[in-house]
């Protein structure tokens, strides 16, 4: 969330993140450890565990059942190259939703969206990817 006067900076940062992520191999394992640490922190929180189990029951066939952080099995298994291919294939404006709330007018928002996202194109594919199936569904031929 940014104040209106920094809206353009937000557009710029998000558009660059959409196409310029590096996935530096030397940083990948460090980042995996950090994400797994966050995962463990959530697993030790009784409120999180309750919400997770309730979501798994309430959303038995919907992607909402999975926490944003994903599944431990995916976090442990995915390689840097698999994740980078996934990013290139699915991380594109065709799979994104831009939400703007506050003092930025519709005309200005559309102008900034066109300036920063219009040239990116829809990119690879769109669709739902279920945790635990990421590698297979991304067409990587791995199990």
Mean pLDDT by 10 residues, the chain (143 residues): 91 92 91 92 88 87 80 90 88 83 90 91 62 45 35
Output the pLDDT for position 113.
Answer: 92
Is the Cβ–Cβ distance between 32 and 75 less than 8 Å? yes
- Phi, psi at 80, each rounded to 5°: -60, -45
Output the pLDDT for position 42.
Answer: 85
Residue where the block lists tokens 């900034």 = 112
First-to-last alpha carbon distance for the chain, in angstroms, is 38
Output the pLDDT for position 125.
Answer: 64
Domain boundaries 4-137, CATH class: alpha beta
């Amino acid at each position: 969330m940014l104040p209106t006067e920094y809206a353009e900076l937000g557009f710029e940062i998000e558009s660059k993140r959409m196409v310029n992520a590096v996935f530096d191999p030397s940083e990948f394992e460090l980042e995996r450890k950090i994400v797994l640490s966050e995962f463990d922190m959530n697993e030790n929180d009784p409120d999180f565990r309750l919400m997770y189990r309730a979501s798994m029951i309430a959303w038995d066939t919907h992607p909402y059942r999975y926490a944003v952080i994903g599944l431990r099995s995916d976090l442990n298994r995915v390689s840097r190259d698999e994740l980078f291919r996934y990013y290139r294939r699915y991380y594109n404006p065709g799979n994104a939703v831009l939400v703007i709330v506050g003092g930025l007018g519709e005309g200005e928002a559309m102008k900034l969206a066109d300036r920063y996202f219009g040239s990116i194109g829809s990119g690879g594919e769109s669709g739902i990817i279920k945790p635990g199936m990421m590698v297979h569904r991304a067409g990587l031929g791995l199990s």
